[in-house]
Amino acid sequence: MDILNVIYKFIMRRQVIGTIITLGVAWVIVQLFNKLISRLLISGKDDFEVKRRKTIIRLIQSIFRYIVYIIALLIILDFFGIDTKSLITSLGIAGVVLGLALQDTVKDLISGIFLVLENYLQVGDIVTYQDFTGEVVELGLRTTKIKAFDGQVLIVANRNIDTIINASQKKANLLIEIATGYEEETEKVEEVLKQVIEEAKKDKLIFSESEYLGINDLGAHSVQYLIKIKCNQNDRYTIRREMLRRIKIAYEASNLKIPYNQIEVHHGKDI
C-alpha cells in the first residue's frame, strides 16, 4: 500500500498530472484540427485541384502541429517553475544565432512553404531528381519524399527543389507506332485505329485531343501507323499498355495482321 500511495502522490503532483493533461489536450487538438481542415479543403473540381489541396492540407497540418506542441512545451515548463517569459526572450536571441548557424535548414523551411504556394510540386506528381524518377508521396517543411516505381524512397532537401523536373504539370503526349502487314488495306487499318481511339475517348481513358496521325514509316517488313494519345502524365504508362491491348484486340477482331520475324528454310535440292 505504501508503494501505491507513493506512486499515486507522484502522479497527482501538479507537474506530472499537468504534463499528462497538457500533452493529451495538445494531441486531441491536433487530431481534431487535422480532421476539420481535411473536410473543409479535400474536395476539388478536378484531380489537379484535389492534389493541390491535399498538399496544402499537409503543410497546414505540419505547421499547426509544431505550433501546438511548442505551446504545450512552454506550459509544461511553467509547471516546473521555469520562467517562460525570460525563456522566450532568450529563445529570440538564440534564434538569431541558430538562424545563422542553420542557414540550410531555414532555406528548407522557406522553400517548403513557397513550393506549395506556387504550385511547383504537389503530392502525387511524377518528378525526376537527377537520375531518380518517382511519385511525390510527402511534402514536409524541410524535405520532400519521392517514391520510385520499384519502392525506393528518395528524400530531397527543399532547398534543392529548383533542380527537380516536374512532369505532372501538363498533359502527356504519347506517340504510338503500330506495325501492320503490307497486305492489309490502308483504309481498313485507319478505320480500325480511329474506332479504337474514339471508344477510348468515350470511356474517358484519354483526352479529346487524341487522334490518328497517319502512316509514319514504310519499313522493311511492315507499315508503321502512328497515333497520338493525350493523357495525364501520371497515367501515361498505364494508358500506353491499355491502348496497345485494345489495338491488338481490334486487330484480331478485324483479321488484321501484326507482322513478326519469320525464317524460311529450303533444302538445297528444292532450290
**Most confident listed range (159-163, 252-256, 266-270):** 252-256
With beta carbons less than 8 A apart as the criterion, state whether 112 and 103 touch: no
Quick check: is 262 in a domain?
Answer: no
Q: Is residue 36 domain-shared with residue 71, that is, in the same domain?
A: yes
List Cβ neighbours of 208 (8 Å cut-off, separation of 6 or more): 201, 230
Instruction: Specify the amino acid at residue 251.
Output: Y
**pLDDT exceeds 80 at position 175:** yes
Q: Quote the CA–CA distance of 239 and 229 in Å, as a whole number.
A: 9
Q: Which domain holds residue 215?
A: 171-253
Q: Is residue 159 domain-shared with residue 191, that is, in the same domain?
A: no
Identify the pLDDT of residue 237.
Answer: 83
**Final residue of a structural domain among 111, 135, 166:** 166
Phi, psi (degrees; rounded to nearest 5) at 118: -95, 5
Q: Quote the CA–CA distance of 212 and 195 in Å, as a whole number.
A: 10
Burial 221-230 (b: 16+ CB within 10 A, else e): ebbebebebb
Strands lying side by side in the sheet with 171-180: 171-180, 223-232, 211-218
As for how many domains the chain has, the answer is: 3
For the domain that residue 153 is a member of, what is the CATH number?
Answer: 2.30.30.60
Quick check: is 265 in a domain?
Answer: no
Quick check: is 195 in a domain?
Answer: yes
Where does the pLDDT of residue 166 fall: very low under 50, low under 70, confident under 90, or very high at 90 and above? confident
Quick check: is 248 in a domain?
Answer: yes
pLDDT digits (tens, 9 = 90+) for 215-239: 999 988 899 999 999 887 778 888 9
Q: Is residue 158 domain-shared with residue 184, that is, in the same domain?
A: no
Q: Is residue 6 domain-shared with residue 97, that is, in the same domain?
A: yes
User: What's the burial of 180, exposed, middle or buried (CB within 10 Å: 0-12/13-18/19+)?
Assistant: buried
Quick check: is 118 in a domain?
Answer: no
**pLDDT exceeds 80 at position 133:** yes
Quick check: is 270 in a domain?
Answer: no
3-class DSSP state for residue 92?
A: helix
Which grid cell sits at 223? 507499315
- What are the Cα distances from residue 202, in Å, to 118, 122, 210? 34, 29, 12
Q: Is residue 201 domain-shared with residue 243, that is, in the same domain?
A: yes
Q: Is residue 135 domain-shared with residue 207, that is, in the same domain?
A: no
Identify the pLDDT of residue 189.
Answer: 94
Where does the pLDDT of residue 115 fall: very low under 50, low under 70, confident under 90, or very high at 90 and above? low
In the beta sheet, which residues pair with residue 132?
129
Q: Is residue 7 domain-shared with residue 87, that is, in the same domain?
A: yes
Where does the pLDDT of residue 94 fall: very low under 50, low under 70, confident under 90, or very high at 90 and above? low
Q: Quote the CA–CA distance of 41 and 50 in Å, as a whole number.
A: 9
Provide the whole-model pTM. Answer: 0.46
Quick check: is 33 in a domain?
Answer: yes
Q: Is residue 216 domain-shared with residue 246, that is, in the same domain?
A: yes
Q: Is residue 89 domain-shared with residue 143, that is, in the same domain?
A: no
Q: Is residue 218 domain-shared with residue 179, that is, in the same domain?
A: yes
Q: Is residue 7 domain-shared with residue 26, that is, in the same domain?
A: yes
For the domain that residue 197 is a member of, what is the CATH number?
Answer: 3.30.70.100
Quick check: is 177 in a domain?
Answer: yes
Q: Quote the CA–CA distance of 189 and 108 in Å, as a whole number.
A: 55
Where does the pLDDT of residue 117 fall: very low under 50, low under 70, confident under 90, or very high at 90 and above? low
Q: Is residue 7 domain-shared with residue 97, that is, in the same domain?
A: yes
For the domain that residue 34 is a member of, what is the CATH number?
Answer: 1.10.287
